[in-house]
Structure 1
Amino acid sequence: MALPGKAPKADTLAHSIEDLIARRHLTPGDHIATKDELRRESGVARATVNEAVRLLQARGRVVLRPGPGGGLFVAPTDPVVRLGQTLLTVHSEPVSVIDAVSVRNALEPVIAEEAARFRGARDIADLRVLIDALSDVVGEPGRFLRVNWRLHERIARISRNHIARTMYLGLVEFIQDQAVDVVSDMSLKEHRQYKKHRLDIHIDLVQAIIAGDPGAAVDAAKRHALQPIGSPAKG
């Protein structure tokens, strides 16, 4: 697994492992790699590999099996997740990304409130890493969008409402697969100003979740949903 540039942080390594699963068309139960293989191929420290594995376990993407023949395996998909995937497998129908964004936006306050109520110490640490990463790429449209999606996925993982969480994650995956970040109608300066505005909203959302303030989290989620209809892919 070739990783470009300097040794990535745990979140970047986790994202690369997810890309590896997709590229190799791995299915639940398939072997991905051992921790030592990941460390050798990526060039990162053992602690970074451990943290990346923990992130993937929290997302429900991998399972870790100890002993000979062990390592990382693609996690099984539970029945509710399969239901969400089935509902979004509608390539024969004229499904609009804007429709998917509208439903996702309707779920945002539910997901945000749950996250504020049930976040734990590990959730808080992950959200801080992701919001810092989002701040670092505010001037880079493609990277901003990818980190943005990972942030929302991580927030959704906190929810204990299994149906809402599953449908939300399914919608985010659908939007990522179908949407294109359209910014051709904006100047570079306007685009940066827009992303800075979006960043501020995400900071408010994450701070409310970390503070355990459901009301403030819901307010931030509602402001997040007020985005230009012509730009459905923007987070």
Structure 2
Amino acid sequence: MSAGDHTGGGEDAAMIDAASEGPAYSREIWSRAIDVGSTVALGGSRAEAAAGQIARLAAAVRAGERIGSKDDLRKLCGVSVGTINEAIKLAQTRGVITSRPGPGGGLFACDPSPLSRMNGWFRTAADDDSAFAESVQIRDAIAPLLIDEVLRCYTLADQEALAEHLARVHRAQESNVVSDYIWAAWDLHAYLADLGKGGLLNTLYLSIMDVGTTYLRAKLETVAVEDIDPTPMTRTMEDLVDGLARRDREAAVDALRRTVPTMVLSSSESVSDGTVDRSE
């Protein structure tokens, strides 16, 4: 039985029913039941998926080159007029295309700012194996910076708060409801990120978490309930909280780097190239 099959009963059914829910961008988005596929981007929005296609099309040509008319893009993306209008607005807001009216007009590729490119990358990365692996590598690189910032501000009250977050993780694991567990893990790491005062660093870390949890959501759609095991993830969070409590920088950094969302899958099938398979 897959994580997306809602025909079971008892505790297993509770876990299965919630397996497709979790914390990417908003609880409301993750609570929707969606069919994860090539036309579905974050939150199941076809406009998001179409905007991603438009961005990739624009990236493949030189800035200023015409990529087509609105109707050309609508046919290419296979969406309605209303959806392509929304997608074009998204792509324009992100700085990847511009429009020109009149004869010879249409939609043209732009050279977006680095910030726009980064935002676009995060929006389209969650269903891509190589992008997921890259996001984990970036997280590994910033882990020492984040832990240093956390330890610089760390108080006894923070230690007690993280201990309570960890207790919630344990309770969620015992409840056998996957969405509750993922949310508890998310909340622990979100609290950790908020401890530091580096706004850009914390935002980058949370954005990487979004990619990871959304990627996990897609994986949960295709696995059997018996292949979901939160225990390795729980152990890394225990090590993380313990390392911070002991002010052991190296232990905390190591635990953070060992935390990969897909480790809740007992099959350890993280990404196709295997670069982030860190199950124990």
User: Could you state the TM-score of these two structures normalised by the residue count of structure 1?
Assistant: 0.52
Q: Could you tell me whether the CA contact under 8 Å between 1:135 and 1:199 is conserved in 2?
A: yes
Q: Which residue of 2 aligns with 1:72?
A: none
| 2:150 aligns with one of 103, 108, 115 | 115
Supply the distance in 2 between the matched residues of 1:134 and 1:112 (Cα, whole angstroms). 21
Q: Does 1:87 align with 2:118?
A: yes
Q: Percent identity?
A: 16
1:230 maps to amino acid: S
Matches within 5 A, 1:1-235: 87-90=118-121, 91=123, 96-138=131-173, 139-177=176-214, 179-180=216-217, 182-183=219-220, 184-185=222-223, 188=226, 190-192=227-229, 195-225=230-260, 227=263, 228=268, 230=270
**SS of alignment partner, residue 182 of structure 1:** helix
1:177 is displaced (CA, Å) by: 4.8
1:205 maps to amino acid: L
Supply the distance in 2 between the matched residues of 1:147 and 1:85 (Cα, whole angstroms). 31
1:187 is displaced (CA, Å) by: 5.3
Relative to structure 1, is the Cα distance of residues 84 and 19 closer, same or farther in structure 2, using a 3 angstrom cutoff?
farther
1:103 is displaced (CA, Å) by: 2.1
Q: Could you tell me whether the CA contact under 8 Å between 2:139 and 2:257 is conserved in 1?
A: no
Relative to structure 1, is the Cα distance of residues 84 and 179 closer, same or farther in structure 2, using a 3 angstrom cutoff?
farther
Task: State the Cα deviation string for residues 55-92 of structure 1 (Å, max 9, x = none).
Answer: xxxxxxxxxxxxxxxxxxxxxxxxxxxx9787223457
1:181 is displaced (CA, Å) by: 5.3
Relative to structure 1, is the Cα distance of residues 86 and 158 closer, same or farther in structure 2, using a 3 angstrom cutoff?
farther
Bigger-Rg structure (1/2): 2
Supply the distance in 1 between the matched residues of 2:238 and 2:116 (Cα, whole angstroms). 30
1:120 is displaced (CA, Å) by: 1.5
Deviates more, 1:179-188 or 1:139-148: 179-188
1:144 is displaced (CA, Å) by: 1.2
Supply the distance in 1 between the matched residues of 2:270 and 2:179 (Cα, whole angstroms). 17
Supply the distance in 2 between the matched residues of 1:110 and 1:229 (Cα, whole angstroms). 28
Supply the distance in 2 between the matched residues of 1:151 and 1:109 (Cα, whole angstroms). 18
User: Which runs of 5 or more residues in structure 2 are unaligned?
Assistant: 1-22, 29-113
2:256 maps to amino acid: A
1:119 is displaced (CA, Å) by: 1.1
Supply the distance in 2 between the matched residues of 1:212 and 1:152 (Cα, whole angstroms). 17
Supply the distance in 2 between the matched residues of 1:169 and 1:85 (Cα, whole angstroms). 17
RMSD of the alignment, in Å?
Answer: 3.9
Supply the distance in 1 between the matched residues of 2:138 and 2:186 (Cα, whole angstroms). 16
Q: Could you tell me whether the CA contact under 8 Å between 2:151 and 2:247 is conserved in 1?
A: yes
Relative to structure 1, is the Cα distance of residues 142 and 111 closer, same or farther in structure 2, using a 3 angstrom cutoff?
same
Matched residues, number: 156
1:220 is displaced (CA, Å) by: 1.8
